[in-house]
Structure 1
Amino acid sequence: MKFGTVDYVIFALLLVLSSGIGLYYALSGGKQRTMQEFLLADRSMSFLPVALSLLATFQSAVAILGVPSEIYRFGTEYWFLGCSYILGLLIPAHIFIPMFYRLRLTSTYEYLELRFNKAVRVCGTVTFIFQMVIYMGVVLYAPALALNAVTGFDLWGAVLTMGLVCTLYTTLGGLKAVIWTDVFQTLIMFAGQLAVIIVGTIKVGGIAEVWRIATENEKIADINWNPDPFERHSFWALAIGGVFMMLSLYGVNQAQVQRYLSSKTEKEAILSCYAVFPCQQIVLCLGCLMGLVMFAFYKQHDSTGLTSLPSPDQMVLYFVMDILQDLPGLPGLFVACLFSGALSTISSAFNSLATVTMEDLVKPHFPNLSESRATMLSKVVALLYGLLCIGMAYISSIMGSVLQAALSIFGMVGGPLLGLFCLGMFFPCANSTGAISGLVAGLIMAFWIGIGSFVSNIKAAPSQLVNGTIGPESGNFTTVVMTTLLSPEPIQKSGLSKFYSLSYMWYSAHNSTTVVVVGLIVSFLTGSMKGKVVNPRTIFHVLPKLLFFLPDKYKEKLYFGVKHTKEESEPTLEQPATPDKTINSLINGDVKATDTTENEKFDGYARADGGHSYVVHETSL
């Protein structure tokens, strides 16, 4: 099964058009001459391209390969993950997005300094950089490896081509190029998946026949109501645990928050989150349907080649080449779909890494850095991260059985970072010491379970080593999209090994809860923050909103002394973004608490470390 000329042409067109979008935005319009243009698309994006970019960022090649493989082997139970999308996107739309947007942030971790202090901000930033650097190399290498194994497509040719093209358009075109390229790549992903489903369904004999075969072979799963957290997939794990996983991705991850912040208004940012919901459901349904079509096809045809594959993550590509090899161009379209997922994920990583590096690590130490030099340095940083990504892909190729452990770090770190932001937003009493202690405890817990699970699986099932890697029976330490790729059948365990088998769908919930609990305990032991010194714009008052029916004198106690006004609680959604003077100038000390102008006023709030946090009260900006 080899690529034909037409397939290569279609694949090359994907790369050429992606590069062309980057060149267009580098040579037209603002030409990426300012930090706002390069890192935040000049805060000028409307909700639809932002929504499609949000979708593409974590709809990686891993998901395109993994979900159908999951459905083929274990049935449609995974589809219930769609239930988590409701709260997983409503909560960011009404809590996280308004909070970040009204503070006019560029880096998500600026919030941590406004709420706690600079040390917490740096800890959050370093944790995120570690997470993304490890992850992006694997995302680049994994699909190239699968493609090479099934089609003979040159492995390092694919890695280098993707890495360089992605680096090119991200470095030249900035966030605007990344978003519009994501839109183009999302359409390619939909087209590739639809082509496979349509052709496969026709060859099986129609969608009714696909459903009949799947039903007869018990692939259409009933709802599993088992509340056992060690159950790999249950309704509770997918629908409830999945909410925390979605929050770690769509609520606090810099790659996603940066897209919200690029919107023209807060209303557009919220609409983008709402628009992602039906798109996510469509993507999930396409993946599930492709898995059912693949199962039905191999029930009618010889499946020896499929079952003899060394790794389940090659199933989808084998199936694609099997049904599309007589249709020139369609294999190339699906491979373009596959690599579109990888490109969108990697480009988002480059851009978000450049943002946090500049805003959190460089500019605080060089407050007098000119706009032009800062923009040029941002582009250099994005370029360096692109080259680092290619280097990480090489490291992934020689890591052997550690490959999945490296990939799992993305999932390990997401939960503790979510917990850190929740600690700050929902608990006014939490202090900076508690925040750092909670983050460290959450990371230790995450790596303990993750590495313990990895080692436990190697000892329990050495015969399950596949291509130098091994898959966890419960997938507890991988991201939701990668976990399903190499998951063999469950092995019964007890004791500490049972603890290591915690379902991966509860993983974010478990680790974020650890951060909050430890953070609160340490805060109480070291002296809780007083409400009057907490920046009110960094707190989301949950209890007063839930218990809105209480008399005002009782509701007032639920604010725990934090200053609040009706305007602060319910500001207008139509306020435009203000690129000229952001909270960054306050953090860097460019504007004093007593400074006032005709249009704005700054109020200072003492921080736990003796410094000040500032909040902007806008009147006519």
Structure 2
Amino acid sequence: MQPVHIILLIVAYFSVLLFISYLTGKSANNKTFFKANNSSPWYLVAFGMIGASLSGVTFISVPGWVESQSMSYMQMVLGYIVGYAVIGLVLLPLYYRLNLTSIYTYLQDRFGNYSYKTGASFFLLSRTIGAAFRLFLVANVLQLLLFDAYGIPFWVTVSITILLIWLYTFKGGIKTIVWTDTLQTLFMLIAVGVCIYTISTEMQITNIFSYVAESELSKTFFFDDVKTGDYFWKRFLAGAFVAIVMTGLDQDMMQKNLTCKNLKDAQKNMFWFTIVLVIVNFFFLALGVLLTDYAQKNGIDAHKDQLFPIIATKGSLGLATAIFFLLGLIAAAYSSADSALTSLTTSFSIDILEIDKKKNPEEQEKTRKKIHILFSFVLIATILVFKYFIADQSVIAKIFTFAGYTYGPLLGLYAFGLFTKLQVKDKAVPFICIIAPVLTFLTNYSTIQYFNFDFEFFVLVINGVYSFLGLFLFKK
């Protein structure tokens, strides 16, 4: 696939997104940007959330993970079902009852201003890191396939990536994203289907399900060694809590849900989203089995995050596969990144600057636009930092590891608020939420060093427990 083909594809793709932005951004204001005027159809939100949840990381890292981890990731996916049930039955009713724009406003009502600012700050940190990781992965692929051929440096690639996101989100915000995410999810799923079809045809596989089931890489459940990171109950419970915090306690994901007309629609959205997400993740893992076997049989030396890109674009699968791969990758990446930029803007505007309390609507909108630009630069800077610190493990593993340390305090805060009636010393909350991740890191490091026991993604739960205990110790 020639670089000129990639350029034409990107231009055509973003022309469509900008056209959608033009249609949805007419007469847009802050209410449109933050909550889409509470007019989003639930089925569009559900479908679009699939792409936002999976992102470019899942698109590349999950298939690449199969070689070393088999299909053990499915244990986490099954845990997601429990987590999404908690979101639909516990958190969504709370958010709709309080009529929230930012979900962290709940912490102010429950504990006080310090807790509120702390919760919002941890989200801003978590989402900035997560979004930057996702975009870093895609920027690397685009750099390899396109920009290196023209001698364009990595920082220009990153800047162009963020600029394009800003262009189609700066007016309509979440209203635009509900529609663009729907389109991008469709592109991503078509891409996966095309890739599975072409690889199975090339390998002369008549029944994909039988092939995957008989593969040595299809092992899903691991009960043998409780000390390992892939042990079933650690992965399953981590999956449940990851879903709760990375969706239910995440302004990015909940902001889409809160654009639905009412609670019933939001719950329907969550129910169907859960079913489809589990199925889609299975197909990503099945694709990973096919890609790994294809690489081995054809002598292709590609592993982890390089496996899917190299086979799709430099193998013998044809131009159509390469085009759909790139289309799916770009769609998956941007469906996550655009909503991240919008939610970061929303949280900082509402939670930190509290612009909703300003009386002048024009002043509110000017401030929001400045924050939108500010976070565009923050994402660029963060991605460039990652360029020099990313190690050799799959990016998805890094995201879940970081999530464990940054979302853990949010888990503790919400659990304490929802399941107890106790009050805390509000000024102590920032210190508790900083100490808890440090204790979590020391705990996991010690168990690995002295007992060869790795909590892996379960550090999220440990972190939440430490935060909960800290809040209890400083109760009023």
Q: TM-score when scaled to structure 1?
A: 0.70
8 Å CA contact retained: 2:91, 2:248: yes
Q: Deviations over 1:128-166 (max 9, x none)?
A: 222222333332222221343466565455423321110
Q: 1:168 to 1:411 in 2, by over 3 A?
A: farther
| Amino acid corresponding to residue 407 of structure 2 in structure 1 | G
Aligned-pair CA distance for 1:89: 0.8
1:495 aligns with 2:447: no
8 Å CA contact retained: 1:200, 1:297: yes
Aligned 1:457-472 pairs, distance under 5 A = none
Q: 1:426 to 1:207 in 2, by over 3 A?
A: farther
In the alignment, what sits opposite 2:38?
43
In the alignment, what sits opposite 2:345?
354
8 Å CA contact retained: 2:188, 2:329: yes
Aligned-pair CA distance for 1:75: 1.6
1:320 corresponds to which of 306, 312, 322:
312
In the alignment, what sits opposite 1:336?
327
Q: 1:169 to 1:448 in 2, by over 3 A?
A: farther
After TM superposition, the runs of 4+ consecutive aligned structure 1 residues lying more than 6 A away are 402-406
1:510 aligns with 2:462: yes
Q: What is the CA–CA distance in structure 2 between the aligned matches of 1:224 and 1:400, rounded to whole Å?
A: 28
1:194 aligns with 2:219: no
Q: What is the CA–CA distance in structure 2 between the aligned matches of 1:107 and 1:209, rounded to whole Å?
A: 44
Q: What is the CA–CA distance in structure 2 between the aligned matches of 1:401 and 1:203, rounded to whole Å?
A: 33
In the alignment, what sits opposite 2:433?
439
Q: What is the CA–CA distance in structure 2 between the aligned matches of 1:357 and 1:4, rounded to whole Å?
A: 38
Q: What is the CA–CA distance in structure 2 between the aligned matches of 1:147 and 1:197, rounded to whole Å?
A: 22
| Amino acid corresponding to residue 516 of structure 1 in structure 2 | F
| Amino acid corresponding to residue 44 of structure 1 in structure 2 | S
8 Å CA contact retained: 1:57, 1:255: no
Q: 1:445 to 1:12 in 2, by over 3 A?
A: farther
1:32 corresponds to which of 25, 28, 32:
28
In the alignment, what sits opposite 2:205?
206
In the alignment, what sits opposite 1:297?
294
1:420 aligns with 2:413: yes
In the alignment, what sits opposite 1:287?
284
Q: 1:7 to 1:386 in 2, by over 3 A?
A: same
Aligned-pair CA distance for 1:425: 1.0
Which runs of 5 or more structure 1 residues have no equivalent in the other structure?
Answer: 454-491, 528-621
Q: 1:36 to 1:269 in 2, by over 3 A?
A: same
Q: What is the CA–CA distance in structure 2 between the aligned matches of 1:79 and 1:207, rounded to whole Å?
A: 24
Q: 1:11 to 1:331 in 2, by over 3 A?
A: farther
SS at match of 1:67: helix
Which runs of 5 or more structure 2 residues have no equivalent in the other structure?
Answer: none
SS at match of 2:422: coil
8 Å CA contact retained: 1:7, 1:331: no
8 Å CA contact retained: 1:214, 1:295: no
1:394 corresponds to which of 381, 384, 391:
384
Q: What is the CA–CA distance in structure 1 between the aligned matches of 2:212 and 2:286, rounded to whole Å?
A: 13
Aligned-pair CA distance for 1:276: 0.8
Q: 1:158 to 1:194 in 2, by over 3 A?
A: farther
In the alignment, what sits opposite 2:15?
16
Q: 1:440 to 1:397 in 2, by over 3 A?
A: closer
8 Å CA contact retained: 2:3, 2:145: no
8 Å CA contact retained: 2:75, 2:220: no
Q: What is the CA–CA distance in structure 2 between the aligned matches of 1:215 and 1:126, rounded to whole Å?
A: 47
Q: What is the CA–CA distance in structure 2 between the aligned matches of 1:74 and 1:334, rounded to whole Å?
A: 23
SS at match of 1:128: helix
Q: Deviations over 1:262-313 (max 9, x none)?
A: 111111111111121122112201211111111232343223x326xxxx21
| Amino acid corresponding to residue 343 of structure 1 in structure 2 | Y
Q: Deviations over 1:21-73 (max 9, x none)?
A: 222222x3xx212x211111011112111112322223111111111111133
1:274 aligns with 2:274: no
Q: What is the CA–CA distance in structure 2 between the aligned matches of 1:274 and 1:213, rounded to whole Å?
A: 28
Aligned-pair CA distance for 1:5: 4.3
1:409 aligns with 2:402: yes
Q: Deviations over 1:238-271 (max 9, x none)?
A: 2222101111112111111111211111111111
Q: 1:41 to 1:123 in 2, by over 3 A?
A: same
8 Å CA contact retained: 2:78, 2:278: no
In the alignment, what sits opposite 1:258?
255
Q: TM-score when scaled to structure 2?
A: 0.90
8 Å CA contact retained: 1:7, 1:329: no
Structure possessing the higher radius of gyration over alpha carbons: 1
In the alignment, what sits opposite 1:533?
none
SS at match of 1:232: coil
8 Å CA contact retained: 2:412, 2:468: yes
Aligned-pair CA distance for 1:121: 0.5
Q: 1:388 to 1:223 in 2, by over 3 A?
A: closer
How many positions carry a matched residue from both structures? 468
Q: What is the CA–CA distance in structure 1 between the aligned matches of 2:208 and 2:267, rounded to whole Å?
A: 41
Q: What is the CA–CA distance in structure 2 between the aligned matches of 1:381 and 1:16, rounded to whole Å?
A: 25
Which has the larger helix fraction?
2
In the alignment, what sits opposite 2:164?
165
In the alignment, what sits opposite 2:101?
106
8 Å CA contact retained: 2:199, 2:294: yes
| Amino acid corresponding to residue 292 of structure 1 in structure 2 | V
SS at match of 1:398: coil
1:306 aligns with 2:323: no
Q: What is the CA–CA distance in structure 1 between the aligned matches of 2:430 and 2:288, rounded to whole Å?
A: 43
SS at match of 2:222: coil
2:222 corresponds to which of 221, 224, 227:
224
Q: What is the CA–CA distance in structure 1 between the aligned matches of 2:350 and 2:208, rounded to whole Å?
A: 55
Give the superposed CA RMSD. Answer: 2.7
8 Å CA contact retained: 1:423, 1:435: no
Q: What is the CA–CA distance in structure 1 between the aligned matches of 2:220 and 2:402, rounded to whole Å?
A: 32
Aligned residues: percent identity?
20
Q: Deviations over 1:508-536 (max 9, x none)?
A: 2111122112211321xxx3xxxxxxxxx
8 Å CA contact retained: 1:101, 1:266: yes
